């Protein structure tokens, strides 16, 4: 599915979130402490938006690894990284979040933007992310969550389950099923408290979260 949508991913993201995803990503990146010669890992980096924001926080001599399971998404990310002149600081690599393959205690920070919801086994991914973080390092998880107001939940349900599939079939002539997958994957994903409990169970010592756009999205910050 991600292979089929990779080329249109950025445009679709901007249209379907009314441009809000840029703001959400900036806020997530701001949860990563600025670190001189820092090492950061972005998991499920896709087209590298978060990795690009992280690069400026890792200081001179800093490095960011933008990793993703899907080569087509990474190709779009690599193209953007080069076009924006960050090829020296950001490397794009194909890696599964459940088997990261880096040494223990490698990164000052790990981020994941709208990736974790798609991973097969969340606890495997959290264990891997915790393993590759340095002690005291932060995992910043930006993900869809549960709107906190009843009226917003109703509006959001209408948008997700009625308008989005309609746009998918009538406007985008989609055949991948992405417009049905997106809302379904959001509804089956743990809510704010559920995700916090899972991160604590995975061994992170402190987990806090912040709701964005009334809880449509949440940023969880987990400390190793």
Ligand X SMILES: C[S@@+](CC[C@H](N)C(=O)[O-])C[C@H]1O[C@@H](n2cnc3c(N)ncnc32)[C@H](O)[C@@H]1O
Nearer to ligand X, 22 or 37 (CB): 22
Inter-CA distances, 76 with 6, 83, 85, 191, Å:
7, 11, 14, 30
Dihedral, 103, 104, 108, 112 alpha carbons, nearest 10: 80
Nearer to ligand X, 118 or 211 (CB): 118
CA angle 137, 138, 143 (to 5 degrees): 160
Query: DSSP letter string over 163-195?
Result: IHHHIIIIIS---S-HHHHHHHHHHHS--HHHH
Say how many C-beta atoms besides its own lie within 10 A of residue 59's C-beta: 13
- Binding letters toward ligand X, positions 49-88, x by CB under 6 A: xx-----------------xxx--x---------------
Residues touching ligand X, count (CB under 6 A) = 20
Q: How far apart are CB 46 and ligand X at their closest, in Å? A: 3
For the chain, the C-alpha Rg in angstroms (whole number) is 17
Nearest-CB residue for ligand X: 46
Q: With binding defined as CB under 6 A, does residue 113 bind ligand X?
A: yes
Figure out which of the listed residues 29, 40, 65, 119 binds ligand X, where binding follows CB under 6 A.
119
Q: With binding defined as CB under 6 A, does residue 46 bind ligand X?
A: yes
Nearer to ligand X, 123 or 154 (CB): 123
Binding site for ligand X (CB under 6 A): 2, 43-47, 49-50, 68-70, 73, 96-98, 113-115, 118-119
């Amino acid at each position: 599915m991600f292979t089929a949508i990779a080329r249109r991913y950025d445009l679709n993201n901007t249209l379907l979130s009314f441009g809000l995803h840029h703001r959400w990503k900036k806020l997530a990146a701001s949860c990563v402490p600025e670190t001189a010669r820092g090492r950061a890992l972005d998991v499920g980096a896709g087209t590298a938006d978060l990795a690009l924001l992280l690069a400026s926080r890792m200081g001179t001599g800093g490095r960011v690894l933008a990793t993703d399971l899907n080569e087509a998404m990474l190709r779009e990310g690599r193209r953007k990284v080069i076009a924006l002149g960050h090829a020296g600081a950001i490397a794009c690599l194909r890696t599964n979040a459940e088997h990261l393959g880096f040494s223990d205690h490698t990164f000052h920070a790990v981020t994941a933007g709208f990736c974790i919801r798609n991973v097969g086994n969340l606890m495997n991914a959290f264990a891997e992310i915790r393993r590759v973080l340095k002690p005291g390092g932060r995992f910043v998880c930006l993900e869809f969550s549960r709107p906190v107001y009843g009226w917003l939940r109703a509006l959001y349900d209408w948008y997700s389950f009625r308008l989005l599939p309609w746009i998918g079939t009538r406007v985008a002539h989609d055949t991948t099923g992405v417009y049905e997958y997106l809302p379904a994957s959001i509804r089956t994903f743990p809510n704010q408290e559920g995700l916090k409990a899972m991160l604590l169970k995975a061994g992170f010592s402190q987990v806090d979260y912040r709701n964005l756009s009334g809880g449509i999205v949440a940023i969880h910050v987990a400390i190793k």
